[in-house]
Structure 1
Amino acid sequence: MTTKKILMLLGDYVEDYEVMVPFQALQMVGHTVHAVCPDKKAGEKVRTAVHDFEGDQTYSEKPGHNFTLNASFAEVKAENYDALVIPGGRAPEYIRLNRMVLEITRHFAQANKPIAAICHGLQLLAAADVLQGKNCTAYPACSTEVWRAGGTYVDVPANEVVIDGNLVTAPAWPAHPRWLAEFLKILGTRIEHLEMAAV
């Protein structure tokens, strides 16, 4: 398998599962993942939030873990990365105000590199103006931003994904199994099934 170098764009109150699960799973299969946050360095932390679906009109929010960044935002050169991951939560809402975040995001879209975005991560893609003509999904409350950015919002169940070329999107963390599997396909990652010995 060819190891890919993947960038994750984070901020405080990123959704806990949406950063933890892909960060660990992508490394598990052999890829290098650099998690960065504007104005923060490797070794510093971002706070996370757990968004849950408990029958209310919108998700509930609870404190998550502190997540340790493993790369420094100021040192990021987008051309050195093969793919981009944008988790959801509240982070995309404000990191999209950072000019460098938008430039980095545009690089991946314009170079047709694989991009995986989930939940509110589509807010960043919309702000970077890279959704024109793209089919995608997101947390339903972000659908208006997708439409206004020229994308086509596809309403799918929370555990499903939408794939359009290099772009893999999902509404929320229940889609992790499919979202990550489809992203790995676009990355060209081949996983051999292992026979587990009985203990």
Structure 2
Amino acid sequence: MGKQILMIVGDFGEDYEIMVPFQALEMVGHEVHTVCPDKEAGETIKTAIHDFRGDQTYMESRGHDFELNATMAETEPSDYDALCVPGGRAPEYLRTHEPVLEAVRHFFETDKPVAAVCHGPQILAAAGVLEGYELTAYPAVRAECEAAGCSWVDGVVTDGNLVTGQAWPDHPEWLSAFMDLLGDEVSHGEAFAAADD
């Protein structure tokens, strides 16, 4: 049976880290509500595409407009089974909104599944929920995560209710781990292996 999933997004969140999880989770039967502080259902956010081209950090280009399908001020975290926190530049300012932090705290206090990728753990750090966890994130925010009391792990990691990945190249493993927490049956590449025979 599909779950109700809350996804917190904002302007210049990473395009792939919003679009891909939203579509993949909906595809397997979950209902994903996308919200942004100070915006209502039907409004859009602007996404950004972050690419790695041999520089010391990523390059950013304008992504798509992404339409919100719920209004944050009208949502109750207790109505949701899980939380998804994409990365990009949005987390650096989303973490300054107290309703965002309150929503995040609910999912940790109730031990519901949480998936965060790239810069998404910045929001979790600001919410004060990372003490004792093992996690990963975009490597440039490692110090911030460790200062929040967690242990760093390279690569996708699941620790209790929390699944984290470093960036959108981790999607196959990160989404698979999140879907495991949601109770979905995930083949972990078996279908691809059969096609190669």
CA distance in 2, matches of 1:146, 1:63: 27
Instruction: Report how many residues are paired.
Output: 189
CA distance in 2, matches of 1:43, 1:176: 27
CA distance in 2, matches of 1:153, 1:93: 20
Deviations 1:97-142 (A, max 9, x none): 0011000000001110000000000100000011000000000011
1:48-197 aligned at under 5 Å gives the runs 48-156=47-155, 161-190=156-185
- Quote the residue 1:18 is aligned against: 17
CA RMSD across the alignment: 1.2
Q: Kindly report structure 1 stretches of 4+ aligned residues shifted beyond 2 Å.
A: 190-194
1:81: Cα distance to partner? Answer: 0.1
Q: Secondary structure at the match of 1:120?
A: coil
- Quote the residue 1:31 is aligned against: 30
- Quote the residue 1:7 is aligned against: 6
CA distance in 2, matches of 1:130, 1:191: 28
Give the TM-score of the pair, scaled to structure 1. Answer: 0.93
Distance 1:49 1:188, change over 3 A: same
Give the TM-score of the pair, scaled to structure 2. Answer: 0.94
**Given residue 145 of structure 1, which amino acid in structure 2 is its aligned partner?**
E
Identity of aligned residues (%): 59
Structure 2: gaps (5+ residues): 192-197
**Given residue 27 of structure 2, which amino acid in structure 1 is its aligned partner?**
M
CA distance in 2, matches of 1:178, 1:108: 22
